[in-house]
Amino acid sequence: MPTTVSVVAVGSVLPMFDLMAVVLRFIAKRGRPRGGIGARYRVDDYLILFSLIVSLSLGAIMIFGAVKFGYGKNSAGVMSKMDIVAGKEITMNTQKLTIVFNELQIWTLGATKLSVLYFYRAIFVGTVFNILSWAMICVVTAVMPITFFLVLFQCGVHINWLWSSPAVFAGHCLSGTKLASAFCIVDVITDTFIILMPWYWIMNLHMPRLKRLVIFGIFLFGALAVVASAARLIVYLRVYPSHYSNPNLLGFNTDIVYYSMLEVGLTIIAACLPTFGPLFSDSFKRRLTLTLRRFSTSFPRFRYRFSSIDRPAMVSQSETRIVWDGPHMGLETVAFVDGNREIDVPLGQIHVTTDTNRSSSSIE
């Protein structure tokens, strides 16, 4: 069973990686032209943004449950004889959080799958692919609400029985084992089909072999999401059949949210990777360099002033002053030529004076 520290780590690190992936996705799309296939933002981008918001919420639930309630803890240690009431409350609140977590993850996993499918439709064309993609979109769209309401009303209208005792749940509710197993099996099948669906068309793309291998590598990373969903299925099959009689309910709930978060996090990252191509283009590198230069010249807003004398032999002394101009600060160098003439350059100007005796300049 994962510990409290590992629950907090997964609940904080994976959503942050999801956030980074989505931000890079939108940065990559920002410089693309509007209209047609190159349209800047499309349905797939907004769907992945929704998935990110839910992923951040799931991470917050995990952290809150680990710090405040029972994620990462054992029921035997919490429900001691000295604190039996607090132990029951912790277990009940942890089960409530797990139910909310399970309901939210249905939508984020479904939205991520839809995002990938709509992304495919913007790249691949043809009658066969059009039929396959629309069929998968319909399947994923239908699975989300069906699963959501089955989980929510598996005890009928008595939703509070979901966090009641295992005996009450077993006697009055639908089998959690069958529901969880069915959901995970459908999840693994749809993930696998979505990963494999574009491979035939990728093989027929006219591009250099190296670039094709890179694309294959990106799509293979998406297989990690399939591995994560398969791992969750194994965990569900292992823990759900015995959860009615399992004395460690906190450990049971910890396993559920931990492995579910792994799948959610990896799925969002895998869905964003194929959109990172523009980040490695020369035009993007030039825009990034220009943006960094603009940023470096605009912050911080200090104005540095320099003065140089062409003929140092004519200079008897010089000094540097700190000059304030409203909210701005600058450095001003003043030179005294022959001990009696002062060369001063006003703030906000570029001034050059040259004669046979002296020469000074100021650059802002």
Residue 322 φ then ψ, to 5°? -90, 125
Confidence of residue 58 (pLDDT cuts 50, 70, 90): very high
303: pLDDT strictly greater than 60: no
* Greater model confidence, 235 or 149: 149
Per-residue burial over 204-216, b if 16 or more Cβ lie within 10 Å, else e, is eeeeeeeeeeebe
What does the pLDDT read at residue 133? 92
Collect all residues with Cβ–Cβ distance below 8 Å to 297 and sequence separation of at least 6: none
Range of weakest confidence among 30-39, 114-123, 188-197, 266-275: 30-39
Residue 158 φ then ψ, to 5°? -90, 75
* Greater model confidence, 247 or 49: 49
What does the pLDDT read at residue 353? 46
Whether the pTM exceeds 0.75: the reply is no
| CA dihedral of 146, 151, 157, 160, whole degrees rounded to 10 | -160
Q: What is the pLDDT of residues 158-184, one digit of tens each?
A: 888 888 776 777 777 887 778 888 888
Residue 323: count of CB within 10 angstroms of its CB: 14
What does the pLDDT read at residue 276? 82
Place of tokens 């035009």: 283
Q: How far is it, in rounded angstroms, from Cα 222 to Cα 260?
A: 16
Percentage of the chain beyond pLDDT 90 is 24
DSSP 200-262: HHHHT--S-HHHHHHHHHHHHHTHHHHHHHHHHHHHHHHHSTTTTT-S-HHHHHHHHHHHHHH
CB-count exposure of residue 19 (10 Å: 0-12, 13-18, 19+): middle
